[in-house]
Amino acid sequence: MLFLPLIHLSLIALVFLGIGLLSLTPVLTAIVTWWIGRVAWHAPTEPRGFKIGWWTGAVAAVLVLAALEGPALWTRANLTSALADGEGSAAALSRLRAFHSERSLLKACYEGNRGSAMGTDISGWILSSWRIPAMLLGGSSFQALDSEKARDVFFRVTGKPFNSVKPPKTARGNPVMGRLADPLEEMEFDGYVGGDAVAVRLKNLDLAESRFDGHVDGVARIGYGEWTMVFRNGSNAVKEARCQVKLPRDGRVSRLTLWVNGEPREAAFSTVSKVKAAYKAVAVVQRRDPVLVNMVGPDTVMVQCFPVPAHGEMKIRFGVTAPLDGTRWELPHIVERNFGMSDGLEHALWLQGGCAFELAGTGKKLSANKDGDGHSLPVTLDGATVMNPGIAICAGPLPDEPAVVWCEDRFAKPSERFLIREPTTVSSGDRDRWFRCHCRSEGLDHQGHRWRAGE
């Protein structure tokens, strides 16, 4: 079945080039097997037993094939309908949510216009290989699968990004020849360098080290933490590490550091357009060592650094500042990534605070110990916890909130060097009056929408 679309190509190659027997072998084998079966059918010592055995074997083969490839064929067929525009798309999505092969869906995410042109697994080949002879006989040109739509379907069906799952395995090399890796591995091309998407997982690019140092200030109700990551590239080509990180509620990245030649270098802050342009100029064009952190959604940032050198490492660190959500301060976690996790990776945490606290969301109770005037908690978690939401510092009881909280802004003008937060109480009428005056002074309407003259 798999080689039927290649019969005409094999015959042409056999006649004109003297090659092609290899792809014809399954067809020739099927013909010889059928002939042997015909002869054996009429010459057994027990005809009835032979026929029963023949039909039992045939039915068993069909059932085994259906059990192994039936879910994949069902998934591929419904995926085609889900990607098409029309009323059948929603129904196909519902059928996939009810039953699907995640392996086949994942393979489709790495095919199409942003991957291999055609599915080469059994189900993908059966449903798409017929286009090869049709195209050679004057039919329509081959239309590759839309990779972006397939990845969207994967998320809508499974509820998780396609690059949060380990990529599908490819054919391995011959161990006898001393080649244990994918022979096409070094030809892997990443077309998303410097882009806005995390995109596909890259081979031999892993998170090798992970450490988070955090501090919770119970008086100011603010938490701060620094996440240090080390990426390791085991291939012969430079690669870009990309991930999306979910921050604590109302969190902001307040520091970014990159190690260059073993020395930490602090990053500059600017607008989205300027930092993206600078990153592309330095990373993509000059191929030097930048790292970029950019807000891409509510409490979500995109982290990307390039180039992670061939058979080398790249070390970055970013700081996160966020207010406490009641008594909780959730640790940041990775939502999407284009890299794997090194074997034996551990996520090291060093947490401290001025008041007692616990670490929740790890499956076991972890309480901070008294450490001088405050409390601290060193703990090492499994590396996979960098992807787990819900791991949070639960502080309490918190001290009474002070009347005034201040901090120093070392980059501000001397007259604006100290920032002061002082809670005030206003009546409902005063609040509404202030809002109307504020909106008019800021060019907003009564609902807070910005307006311009003449609108």
The pLDDT of residue 253 is above 70: yes
Please give the DSSP secondary-structure letter assigned to residue 282. Answer: I
Task: Let me know whether 156 and 224 are in one domain.
Answer: no
- Residue 4 placed within a domain: no
Per residue in 184-205, pLDDT tens?
444 466 777 878 888 888 888 9
- Residue 435 placed within a domain: no
Contact 367, 358 (CB under 8 A): yes
The pLDDT of residue 124 is above 80: no
Per residue in 331-353, pLDDT tens?
999 999 999 999 999 999 999 99
Which of 151, 144, 245 has the alpha carbon at shortest distance from 200? Answer: 151
Highest mean pLDDT among 116-125, 157-166, 203-212, 362-371: 203-212
pLDDT at site 350: 95
Please give the DSSP secondary-structure letter assigned to residue 197. Answer: -
Of 139, 164, 189, the residue that ends a domain is: 164
Residue 223 to residue 270: CA distance in whole angstroms: 23
Residue 172 to residue 358: CA distance in whole angstroms: 46
The percentage of residues in the chain with a pLDDT greater than 70, rounded to a whole number, is: 80
The pLDDT of residue 443 is above 60: no
- Residue 362 placed within a domain: yes
Per residue in 348-365, pLDDT tens?
999 999 889 999 998 888
Task: Let me know whether 135 and 256 are in one domain.
Answer: no
Question: Pairing state of beta strands 205-217 and 340-341?
Answer: parallel
Task: Let me know whether 147 and 213 are in one domain.
Answer: no
Task: Let me know whether 158 and 219 are in one domain.
Answer: no
Query: Cα angle at 41 between 36 and 45, to 5 degrees?
Result: 115
- Residue 137 placed within a domain: yes
Q: With bands split at pLDDT 50, 70 and 90, how would you rate the model's confidence at 173?
A: very low
The neighbouring-strand residues paired with 225 are: 214, 320
**Of 73-82, 135-144, 299-308, the least confident:** 135-144
Q: With bands split at pLDDT 50, 70 and 90, how would you rate the model's confidence at 448?
A: very low
- Residue 173 placed within a domain: no
Task: Let me know whether 323 and 388 are in one domain.
Answer: yes
Contact 219, 338 (CB under 8 A): no
Which of 69, 67, 151 has the alpha carbon at shortest distance from 108? Answer: 151
Buried b (16+ CB within 10 A) or exposed e, 24-62: beeeeeeeeeeeeeeeeeeeeeeeeebeeeeeeeeeeee
Contact 202, 188 (CB under 8 A): yes
Write the burial class of residue 116 (CB in 10 Å: 0-12 exposed, 13-18 middle, 19+ buried).
middle
Please give the DSSP secondary-structure letter assigned to residue 22. Answer: H
Region of 204 on the Ramachandran plot (φ > 0 left; ψ -120 to 50 alpha; else beta): left
- Residue 230 placed within a domain: yes
Of 371, 395, 419, the residue that ends a domain is: 395
pLDDT at site 320: 96
Residue 306 to residue 282: CA distance in whole angstroms: 9
Please give the DSSP secondary-structure letter assigned to residue 285. Answer: I
**Number of domains into which the chain is organized:** 2
Average pLDDT over every residue of 237-266: 91
- Residue 94 placed within a domain: yes
Q: What is the mean pLDDT of the chain?
A: 80
pLDDT at site 60: 95
**CB neighbours (10 Å) of residue 113?**
13
Question: Pairing state of beta strands 366-367 and 252-260?
Answer: unpaired
Two tokens, residue 157: 């069906």
- Residue 76 placed within a domain: yes
Q: With bands split at pLDDT 50, 70 and 90, how would you rate the model's confidence at 130?
A: low
Task: Let me know whether 88 and 237 are in one domain.
Answer: no
149: Cα separation from own chain's centroid: 15
Q: Count of residues for the chain?
A: 455
Task: Let me know whether 367 and 274 are in one domain.
Answer: yes
Task: Let me know whether 238 and 140 are in one domain.
Answer: no
**CB neighbours (10 Å) of residue 425?**
5
* Spatial CB neighbours of 178, under 8 Å, sequence gap ≥ 6: none
Write the burial class of residue 296 (CB in 10 Å: 0-12 exposed, 13-18 middle, 19+ buried).
middle
**CB neighbours (10 Å) of residue 266?**
9
* Spatial CB neighbours of 401, under 8 Å, sequence gap ≥ 6: 219, 221, 423
Q: Which domain holds residue 137?
A: 44-164
Task: Let me know whether 220 and 306 are in one domain.
Answer: yes
Strands in 328-330's sheet, in edge-to-edge order, are 328-330, 392-395, 357-360, 366-367
The alpha helices in 42-87, defined as continuous H runs, are 47-83
* CATH at residue 306: 2.60.40
The pLDDT of residue 27 is above 50: yes
Two tokens, residue 179: 């080649």
Residue 201 to residue 69: CA distance in whole angstroms: 25
Highest mean pLDDT among 27-36, 132-141, 245-254: 245-254
The pLDDT of residue 388 is above 80: yes
Task: Let me know whether 159 and 252 are in one domain.
Answer: no
Task: Let me know whether 152 and 239 are in one domain.
Answer: no
Task: Let me know whether 209 and 285 are in one domain.
Answer: yes
Buried b (16+ CB within 10 A) or exposed e, 232-248: bbbbebbbbbbbbbbbb
